[in-house]
Structure 1
Amino acid sequence: MSIDKFEHWWRTEKRPRGAISPDDYEDRLGTVAPMAYLPFGNGLSYGDVCHNDRGTLIDSAKHGRILAFDPGTGVITCEAGATLGDILVKAIPHRFFLPVTPGTGLVTAGGAVANDIHGRNHHARGSFGNHVRRLTLLRSDGERLTCSAEENAELFTATIGGMGLTGLILDVELRLMKVPSPHVQQHAIRFENFADYFTLIDRVGEEHEYSVAWIDQLATGRRAGRGVLWAADHADASCEYPDIPKGPKVAFPLSPPFNPLNSVMLKALNGFRFRRERPGETVSTETWTSYFHAIDRLGAWHRLYGRQGPCQHQSVYPAENAKQTTIRLLETARRHGHASFLTALHRFGDAAGRGLLSFPRPGFSLTMDFANQGEATVRLLDALDRIVIEVGGAVNPSKDFRMSPTAFEASFPSWRKLEALRDPAMASDFWRRTALALNN
């Protein structure tokens, strides 16, 4: 039994959880009880999609080898427990890079598939599942299936974004992208309001591989909607930064008894963050670790949010009403007395996810993080859900721990197809309180 190893990122319910290795699970095939298991990667989901507290977790991180890599084509095969950082360490010396990477390299390949993660270049490359060539899936009846767009295609699309519910992913074959350098030339563009941002974003998306905006969620009046848009492209081959990152530079060993990231402190920090960027556009060359995975340099950064940890809300909504929806979401958070520091606004592209339950879809995605204030935070998150569903958007399950069944169904109307393909041995706390609640 372990508390820390098998906890999710929010740490909302710390409790001992049992886990077995993939080998032990395979030994039990033929005798597994219904809904008794769930694959577990590195626990970087913010909620309960990675937990099955009525059953046993399968510790996929036990199997994390790189199985094959072709430096000519950039096709790599790895076990499900290999992290994205492991893949980059193998690929970067040959000038290949992940076609999609989130804000951390600690996500496992299996977790990246199961949550169909996205990065700062969704407008250019789509989500992670768009680049998976095939995967091997172990079903509880003992079948070991190769799944791709051509073979077991229905199960393939259900597994991408399927939250680990279709079986145990054993390995993943992924096509990487060729880059002149892993590092990036960054364009930091300061904007004064939402009108400036929405004028900028289409041009920036057409001109650059990557883009993400930070918004000052606490700014009001004439400052409302101010922020910084970070666009980037891979630098040319002459860029000579070291390729392989070192470990975390700063670690937070303890959570303070109070929330240091309160509204007063964050208003000052947000103001400083905005003013440190010069007006207009600033171009600089950044290491890939600082641009893509800066958060990995901070060990246990969630402890900064106090003993109840952080909460995050991520939604996606249609482009036609994006400005008004974004304003409503930010205002609602302020009205509920919650302050967000890592407020990110992404422009998602038109490429549809390959998965039945892929979260990324055309439109805009807003992410806000808050210190967990218990029931007050739950009320806020429910209010944010209602705004998003009202305009035809969706809420991200991997950032959730209390979404209602109604909000889930509105976000993912194809969930019954996944339920029909779910491995009978697999279940999660999230699936029980959303999909299975709708079934009852």
Structure 2
Amino acid sequence: MREYRTVMKPKELTITSWGRSRSAEMTAFRPERLSAVINAIREQSEDTRIIACGDGRNYGDLGMRQKGRAILSRRMDRFLSFDERSGVVAVEPGITFAELYAFTSARGFLPPVVPGTGFVTLGGGVASDIHGKNHDNQGCLGEHIEWLDLILASGELVRATRTEHSELFSATIGGCGFTGVISAIGLKLQKLRANAVRVREWRVKDLDQFIDLMQEHRKSAAYTVGWVDALQGGRMLGRGIFQAAEPVLVDWHRTRRIPCSIPFTCPDVTLNRYSVRAFNAIYYRRVPIKGRERILGYEAFHHPLDKVLNWNRLYGKKGFLQFQCVLPDESARIGIRQMLERISNARAASFLGVLKTFGKEGLGDLSFPRSGVTLSLDIPARDGGYELVKCLDAMTLDHGGRVYLAKDVTLTAERFVLMYPKLDKFRETLSRYDPTGVFDSDLAQRLKIRTR
């Protein structure tokens, strides 16, 4: 049995983003109980800045603050309660989505929304208001949050819901951890027995066919997602693989595969336009021209990259940047086309290109999704990578879209304020609940989130 500690010994750590392009020297705390978090907040000096971190899966500088305090919540990983009649589970913020699925699927329920990796914590999922492959039908994670217990800058514990402290509730969902430290989450689950998905796959010849397929299936299919070959140009611009899937219950007993791991940081030249072009060509042809249908395990479908641990090491010492934007439906076709042309011309070695549709806007003041099409890409942090992503930021704004803060490292404060129309409301809530700016990050400094 674990021995819980309420007194923590801080440790000096270098906190590094999953993209490995950003890092910060911080004083880290690993609380296991609520009282330890409250003590860490109340004992900080006036000029100390704090940010909570989960399992370190954010790509940019959201979860770090130079010379600040990091509250690492991974050890706060208890299931507090579960009501089968209402389908509401209460968990601590350090529970991962993989752990949540293991707990709920055994009881005939599923998480309503899951991210692309099972290693993300629930606390991090709330702070980023994560989305999944079912956004058109289920929305973001915030749509399914019943309540949040939050430790404020004063050390006070507050429960926020849609009706009580509602402004704090909407500011915390997608709020990047700036309202306080989440200590517990009430999540409404989906009543559904499923351990697999039935997937239909299409080999897509170009961007127009891609967008047509996404629009056709966005409402009728439970899950939709597409992989796009971002190195292709000309008549093959936007070619890729589109998937539409439904959850199913399959009578099988599969041996859980042990994931492989990248044991060391690869040379920077490992992923270049030649190696990635070869990989993309093979990956594209794995689906027959006429398409196919197959059964995949729930986790294999939702978390394909979890099969390879430490895959971020493939990008070398300089790491990579992940760019993700959403463009409104009316400008998505032309906007995505222009972006893919720019990426293809830059010969950016990205093999993790994703296209999918979004439904309605999220509940949070800084929630990322809105109705439209989202494009996500990993771009090596070298050979003009930063300049390319800055160019994509500008193109996003030109087409009325926005950039995902959980993955951003290049957005400017001037562009940020134009992308997020509820920013003033968010700032008002911060000034009320954290007037001295205790909760802060390098992203907040770069985007001037507290500055009017």
1:368-407 CA distance string (max 9 Å, x none): 1111106x21111110011000111001111111211112
Deviations 1:100-123 (A, max 9, x none): 101111111110000000000101
Whole-Å separation in 1 of the counterparts to 2:385 and 2:250: 48
Partner letter of residue 139 of structure 1?
Answer: L
Matches within 5 A, 1:328-339: 328-339=338-349
SS in 2 for 1:353: coil
Match of 1:20 in 2: 29
CA-to-partner distance for each residue in 1:113-147, whole Å, 9 max, x for gaps? 00000000101100010010001011121321111
Equivalent in 383, 386, 397 of residue 389 of structure 1: 397
Which stretch shows the higher mean deviation, 27-36 or 429-438?
27-36
Residue 48 of structure 1 contacts residue 400 of structure 1 at CA under 8 Å; is this kept in 2? yes
Identity within the alignment, %: 31
1:403 to 411, 418, 435: 411
Q: Does 1:369 align with 2:382?
A: no
Q: In the aligned structure 1, how far is the partner of 2:181 from the partner of 2:23?
A: 25
AA of the residue aligned to 2:308 = L
**Aligned partners of 2:199 and 2:244 also within 8 Å:** yes
1:177 pairs, out of 190, 193, 207, with 190
Runs of 4+ in 1 over 6 A off after TM superposition: none
Q: Is the 8 A contact 1:259 1:304 kept in 2?
A: no
Tell me which residue corresponds to 1:82: 95
Gaps of 5+ in 1: none
Counterpart residue identity of residue 7, structure 1: T
Superposed displacement of residue 217, structure 1: 1.0
1:386 counterpart letter in structure 2:
A
1:132-211, aligned counterparts within 5 Å? 132-211=145-224
Q: State the distance in 2 between where 1:436 and 1:197 align.
A: 36
User: Is this contact kept in 1: 2:25–2:66, CA < 8 A?
Assistant: no
What pairs up with 1:27-426 in 2 under 5 angstroms?
Answer: 27-32=39-44, 33=46, 36-235=49-248, 237-242=249-254, 245=256, 247=258, 249-349=259-359, 351-373=360-382, 376-422=384-430, 423=434, 424-426=437-439
> Is this contact kept in 2: 1:241–1:287, CA < 8 A?
no
3-state SS of 2:357 partner = strand
Instruction: Tell me, in whole angstroms, the C-alpha distance in 1 between the residues paired with 2:305 and 2:256.
Output: 12
SS in 1 for 2:333: helix
Taking structure 1 as reference, are residues 383 and 180 closer, same or farther at Cα in structure 2, changes over 3 Å only? same
Q: Secondary structure at the match of 1:387?
A: helix
**Which sits farther off after the overlay, 93-102 or 195-204?**
195-204
**Rounded Cα–Cα distance in structure 1 between residues aligned with 2:222 and 2:229:** 24
- What is the rounded CA distance, in whole Å, between the counterparts of 2:153 and 2:13 in structure 1? 26
* Structure-2-length-normalised TM-score: 0.91
User: 1:2, CA displacement in angstroms?
Assistant: 5.5
Alpha-carbon separation, structure 1, partners of 2:283 and 2:319: 23
Q: Does the residue aligned with 1:207 lie in a helix, a strand or coil?
A: coil
| 1:224 alignment partner AA | L
How far did residue 82 of structure 1 move? 1.1
The number of aligned residues is 433
User: 1:325: how far off?
Assistant: 0.8
Q: Given residue 239 of structure 1, which amino acid in structure 2 is its aligned partner?
A: D
With 206-215 and 162-171 compared, the bigger mean Cα shift is at 206-215
Stretches of structure 2 that go unaligned for 5 or more consecutive residues are 1-10
Task: Give the distance between the partners of 1:313 and 1:18, measured in 2 at CA.
Answer: 29
Give the secondary structure class of the aligned counterpart of 1:382. helix
CA contact (8 A) 2:92 2:184 kept: yes
| Residues 333 and 339, structure 1, Cα contact 8 Å, conserved in 2 | no
Partner Cα distance (2:265, 2:252) in 1: 38
Change beyond 3 A, Cα 1:293–1:245: farther
* Code of the aligned partner of 1:26: I
